[in-house]
Structure 1
Amino acid sequence: MAHDGSEHCADERLDAGGEVAVARLIMADGDLDHAARHLADALAADPRLPDAHEALAELVAHAGGPEHALRRFEPEPERTFIGTVAAHAHVCAMAGRWDQAVQELFAVAAHEPHRPWLDVAWLHRHDLPDLLDPNAAAIAVARFAQPLADPVEEDERPPLLPALTLLRGCVARHPEHAMLLWCGSTLARRLGAFDEAVTWAQRSFDVEPTHQAAVVKGYALRTAGRRDEALAAWQREAARTPEDHDLFLDIADLLEAMGRPAEGLAWAQRAVEANPEHPKALATALGLRHVVDDDVRHLVALADHLRDHPEHGYAADVLARRGWGRSWLGRVPDPTEAVVNLLREVLEDHEPAPDAALEVSLSALEPPSALLALRSAFPLATVTPEHAPEPDLRRPVGDVRHTVWAYDGLVARPAVPPPSPEAAEAVRGVAAFHWPSLPAAYDRAVVLSALDPRDLLGVLVHPPVPPADEMGRALARHAPQLWVRGVQAWACLGLAHHRADEPWLSSRRREILADLLNGPEDWVSEAAGLALVATAWVEPATRADVQGLVVRRMLDAAKARQTREVTVLASLCELVLALPDVDDRFAALARDLVGAERAPADG
């Protein structure tokens, strides 16, 4: 956000003014190096404070001129301080080192694009384009543009627009400089000057038909929303320079964005066949295969590839993008219990209230974690179910040793004590209702591996309150059910790391998670299923066993659904669909069951 006279900005100005005052006192004593550090601090606090720039000019005079002053602002070898780089850029401008000045100030602005680093008098000189070497200007512009959003949000552009103004001047002075034109196009499109971006890229290609100009023109057209033209431009260039496999992948991504993923997959596959070791090709192809047929095995293959090639960071990006918003692949699913539906309705108009006495009647017993979520917002709420239809959800579906819920008639109560404060805080620190990918969630939960399983079991039914940050407050106010599910998910992921060196089939972690999966019907069963599925993603040797456990739980729930509501059935089916190497028959059944469960709501 630009500095615009807000209270925060006023505080920065006071800090900058204090640094300038100290710098002047030190200058008077002749310690210019020390004074330079304070002036760098002043610029870092307020990049456009006039007094800071005046004091900088005074230091230059004390040093015997800008060339002598430059050494006072040389960056440290192991640490580059942004105020020092900015001061060095300003002194370069005083010395007439215009190319270096622009490159350094652009680097600073790219690092902090929300601040007014470019609002300085020398950058607005009308003759500055005449003073710059066009090659140097092109390089500065390209480096400046590279880290920016494509495009930058309109309300975030003002601090960056001086660079576009300077660029326009340079293009006007050097209208036939091919490199300046295509580099300039990369910045223009990011700052919303789409027509200029397209025109400059085309002119660059007309002057010198380089691959860069052709590719940049496609980017400009794409960012401007002219996708058909972008596709045509890139396909022409791909035919002209088939050795650029990155362009194949750009075409693949563009085709997906145009709603044509199967065609995009063909381009990605061409890149894989041409260069199997390309760091992005296989990830792009696997991601598109998942888009085409919604088969999770492609994402599992992508995760396996990432495990074998951790240097291929793009694979993690694709995995996160494909799982975003998907139940269990990227987040906990929204619960569907009547109690939760009521909770949502009440929270639309009322704040959570510790003294509000809600009375809720249910036609049938529901999973106890749903009541736990309700009481996290309204602790005095009473819930009265009429009966527990058969098969009774209070009963485990198998022989289990570990259970976290017990019942007194139709009233559920925790069967385990609360966790230690340290364990509760540890889970609170990592819990979330969403995650980048299943392997990422599994890896993050390793911080819980040293906790006593009894504490993690306690967390499942005695969840900590949400953190006191923006997200935590939003969850507490609007969606406490997601916080409860998130805590349960991460507690079970923590259990998946317990004694991880034990052989899987005889391990305690498997025993506990299988017991929770098969315990009384509850969100805890789903959370345990998540931990089992995540384990299968990262430990291939567990996959067959985990499939058996999770599929069996789905089948038990499906059988129960023949005679009563099973609110966790769709979620259990989605866990089956997230299994690596799931049998096609079970996957088809899971899809059919999910469709049947959601048909009334969709209708």
Structure 2
Amino acid sequence: MDDERLEAEGEVAVARLSIDSGDLRHAAAHLGNALTAAPQLPDAYEALAELAVAAGGPAAALELFSAEEPYIGAVACIAHLHAAAGHWDSALPALASVIGADPERPWAEVAWLADPDLPGQVPPDAVTQAVAVLVRTLPDPLPPRLREGVGPFYALVRACVGAHPGHSLLHTVGSTLARRFGDSAVAVAWAEHARDLDPGHWQAVVLGGALRAAGRRDEALAVWEAEIARDPSDVDLYVDVAELHRDCGRPAEGLAWLDRGLAVEPDHPKALPASFALRHAVEGGTENLLALSDHLRSHPEHGYAAALLAELCEDRPWLGHVHPASEASVNVLHQMLANPESARDHEIELLSSALEAPSTRLAVRMGFPNSKIDYQSVAEPDPRVPQYRTDTPLWLFEGPEGLDARPALDPPSARAAELLRDVAEPAWPAPVAAYDHAVRLSGLDPEDLLAVCVHPPLPREDEQGAYLLGRQPEMWVRAVQTFACLGLAHHRADEPWADSRRRAFLLDLLFGPEDWTNEAAGFALLATAWADPDAREDVGARLVDRMMAVGKAWRERDATSLASLCRLVLACPWLDETFLGLAEKMLKAVAEFDARTPQEDEERRTGITAELEARASGAHAPQGVPKPRSFLKRLFGRAR
């Protein structure tokens, strides 16, 4: 704030010098800059008044500001000059546009807006137009952090509504602003009064919205459905009705309304995406999510479809974010990071009875660079053995018994590491959005993309990066690996899929030794298939193949990637129901297995936790008793 004020004061000083020298246009530019830096600075408004006097009045001063592409501070100046001239039809909408563009800043904290005589002076049509401009960009509901900045304008609207009780449209648009502020009772009262004054279409639409926000859903549906019966032309209203039925737990009823809306306008930009969302609510699975994604791919301009898809993919592993890791050492890592006495420079030792995915070491050492991780044995079937012969090794298993996993590649170039650091994200709106975001990596050498999988850079130095490094470094490692694989998915994208190098790289990683990079490559394959229908049959078959192999191994030992691979298969709705059903069965088995043995699971984690010591103590404890597998053998005995 101090820097902004100093910058604004400097701009005001230059503006006053320009006014004194007669260079009024130059002064206007600097005053616009001043308000951009500090909208609350009194000196800026005083200098603007001086500019108006020098120009011969507020109306003449308006000509000093360009109206073609004015920046936000210039528009604020224009609004205040219109207000000084009494041009309320222009002043209020201009100020509303500034507030709506940047609602966190105090644009509305100006003296003329707080004048108690103003509500009786401004025409109600001007206020109506201004509110319509403002609500077009404000979120609904308005987050608490934005209410302070918009509050003075809302206070004016409340006063104007009271001053003009017979103006239906002012009550109507005022209701939409009250709703955003969470004033549900006020929003309903204004909307009901507006409809009483003029029972028009928009009055009914807004009243339904106010009732819905107030939690009076059945009343909202009654209002909206009655309006559709009176005027069946507004397909947006069919969408509102359908989604409200979904919110009430009746998605099938909502679908019937969407079908009626689509009969009115088959290519409506909201109705068809909404129908996919409601069918998903009725049917489950991922078929309608893919259909919605395909629709968005054909109509990238349909922002509503993008918002719906992001909402439906949110919090779903692989559809909206990287799949969480479940290795025992990761659980211990979380416990150590949550300990207020832990520090990154502590020397930590971990001893585990069975070899884990090599990438777990990357996560543990990212959290504690001085950690030492040792394994006592390799469970059978051997997770170090690739499912098929591969030409892209990422890991070397060294030591007397091959228990020490080391990167098989040298570190990536500094440019590649920095670009991955900039591009990688642990979450995304939808698979194709992640695929598209990774196109920035398409120019990197594949060797660099492979190398970054085993030499991940530290997270970015921002709030999210600090959280990941301090709480969940494994999520960052998995994010880097995922986007490195997505970068491989863009390598030589002009090559036909079946014989492409990008496919060969990703299949090598998918079928390599059990590791997080299997899952990352699997997601890159999935995202490619969602983006390219021609790749779907091949990708689905490869993911099923890998899931089956890991499922067989899981009968005998831990195979922590199984749940992740099952979810990747379930995101391929084009597959035969036999494979989708098997993936569901395996995923359910993983959950049931964990639920059936909570005590043993706790003992296992406690055993490993006891093995974490500062290097000075050198003490180690046994890991604990492995989980029984007999019921899993019965479950998967006929899986193939």
TM-score, reference length from structure 2: 0.89
Counterpart AA for 1:494: G
Distance in 2 of aligned mates of 1:306 and 1:26: 52
How far apart are residue 43 of structure 1 and its match?
Answer: 2.3
How far the C-alpha of 1:241 sits from its partner, in A, is 2.0
Which secondary structure does the structure 2 equivalent of 1:384 belong to? strand
Match of 2:319 in 1: 329
CA contact (8 A) 1:23 1:34 kept: yes
Mapped contact 2:348–2:370 kept (Cα < 8 A): yes
8 Å CA contact 1:526, 1:571 repeated in 2: yes
Give the structure 2 partner of residue 256 of structure 1. 246
Q: How far 1:593 moved relative to its partner? A: 0.8
Residue 156, structure 1, aligned to residue 149, structure 2: no
> What letter is aligned with 1:63?
A
After superposition, the Cα gap between the structure-2 partners of 1:66 and 1:452, relative to the gap in structure 1 and judged at 3 Å, is closer
- Whether 1:209 aligns to 2:199 is yes
Contact 2:11 2:30 in 1 (8 A): yes
Determine the C-alpha separation between the residues in 1 that align with 2:96 and 2:548.
61
Counterpart in the other structure of 1:419: 412
Cα distance, 1:343 vs. partner? Answer: 0.5
Structure 2 counterparts to residues 212-223 of structure 1, below 5 A: 212-223=202-213
How many matched pairs?
Answer: 593
Tell me which residue corresponds to 1:445: 438
What residue in structure 2 maps to residue 599 of structure 1? 592
SS of the residue aligned with 1:451?
coil
**Alignment partner for residue 524 of structure 1, among 503, 517, 520?**
517
In structure 2, the residue matched to 1:146 is 136
On the 8 A contact 2:285/2:573 being kept in 1, the answer is no
Partners of 1:503 and 1:67 in 2: CA distance: 64
Give the equivalent residue in structure 2 for 1:476: 469
> Deviation per CA, 1:32-80, whole angstroms, max 9, x where unpaired?
22222222222222223222222222222222222222212343x2x21
**TM-aligned CA distance change 1:244 to 1:367, over 3 Å:** same
2:356 pairs, out of 366, 371, 387, with 366
Partner residue, 2:288: 298
Shift of 1:376: 1.6
1:384-424: CA deviations, max 9, x gaps?
32321211001011122222112121111112222111111
Residue pair 1:201, 1:217 contacting (<8 A) in 2 also: yes
1:534 is aligned to 527
**Offset at residue 155 of structure 1 (A):** 4.2
- Identity over the aligned pairs, expressed in percent? 52
Give the CA deviation at 1:249. Answer: 0.8
The residue that corresponds to 2:79 in the other structure is: 89
| Number of the residue aligned with 2:63 | 71
The aligned residue for residue 239 of structure 1 is 229
C-alpha contact (below 8 Å) 1:404/1:415 kept by paired residues: yes
**2:573·2:580 contact (CA, 8 Å) conserved in 1?**
no
- What letter matches 1:533 in structure 2? L
1:595, CA displacement in angstroms? Answer: 1.0
CA deviation map 1:180-231 (0-9, x unaligned): 1111111121123322211111111111111100110111122223333222
Q: What amino acid maps onto 1:447 in structure 2?
A: R
SS in 1 for 2:514: coil
**Is the Cα contact below 8 Å between 1:352 and 1:377 reproduced in 2?**
no
CA distance in 2, matches of 1:352, 1:309: 50
Residue 421 of structure 2: aligned partner: 428
Does the aligned pair in 2 maintain the 1:352–1:378 contact within 8 Å? Answer: no
Per-residue Cα deviation, 1:466-507 (whole angstroms, up to 9, x for no partner):
111111111111110001100110111111111222222221
For residues 99-147 of structure 1, what are the alpha-carbon distances to aligned partners after superposition, in whole Å with 9 as ceiling and x for unaligned?
A: 2111211221111211221122211222322322222221111111221
Give the whole-Å Cα distance in 1 for the aligned partners of 2:349 and 2:106: 56
Contact 2:88 2:126 in 1 (8 A): no
Residue in structure 1 matched with residue 497 of structure 2 by the alignment:
504
Q: Which segment is superposed worse, 379-388 or 366-375?
A: 379-388
Provide structure 1 residue ranges, at least 5 long, that are not aligned to the other structure.
Answer: 1-7
Distance 1:40 1:433 in 2: 40
Could you give the per-residue CA deviations for residues 493-527 of structure 1, whole angstroms, max 9, x where no partner exists? 11111122222222111111111111101111111
Mapped contact 1:327–1:574 kept (Cα < 8 A):
yes
Distance of 1:425 and 1:154 partners within structure 2: 36
Shift of 1:239: 2.3
Aligned to 2:609: none
In the alignment, the residues of structure 1 paired with residue 72 and residue 388 of structure 2 have an alpha-carbon distance, to the nearest angstrom, of: 62
SS in structure 2 of the partner of residue 47 of structure 1: coil
**Which shows bigger deviation, 133-142 or 164-173?**
164-173
Matched residues in 2 for 1:87 and 1:121: separation? 14
In 1: Cα distance, 2:214 partner to 2:173 partner: 17
- Residue aligning to 1:457: 450
Could you report, residue by residue, the CA deviation over 1:505-564 in whole angstroms, capped at 9, with x for unpaired residues?
A: 221111111111111011111111111111111111111111111101000011111111
Match of 1:3 in 2: none
CA distance in 1, matches of 2:143, 2:460: 30
Paired with 2:172 and 2:595, the residues of 1 have a C-alpha distance of 49
Out of 79, 96, 100, the residue aligned to residue 90 of structure 2 is 100
- The residue number in structure 1 matching 2:631 is none
Letter in 2 for 1:468: E
Higher mean displacement: 567-576 or 91-100: 91-100
Aligned Cα root-mean-square deviation (Å)? 1.7
Amino acid at match of 1:160: V
Partner of 1:28: 20
CA distance in 1, matches of 2:391, 2:21: 78
* Pairing 1:48–2:55 present: no
SS at match of 2:354: coil
Q: SS where residue 363 of structure 1 aligns?
A: strand
CA distance 1:121–1:583, change in 2 (3 Å): same
User: What SS does the corresponding residue of 1:360 show, helix, strand or coil?
Assistant: strand
Moved over 3 A (4+): 350-355, 600-603
Q: Residue 352 of structure 1 contacts residue 477 of structure 1 at CA under 8 Å; is this kept in 2?
A: no
Once residues 246 and 351 of structure 1 are traced to their aligned partners in structure 2, the CA distance between those partners, rounded to angstroms, is: 56
**Which deviations, in whole Å up to 9, do the C-alpha atoms of 1:306-338 show, x marking residues without a partner?**
222222232222221111111111111111000
Change (3 A) 1:505 1:559: same
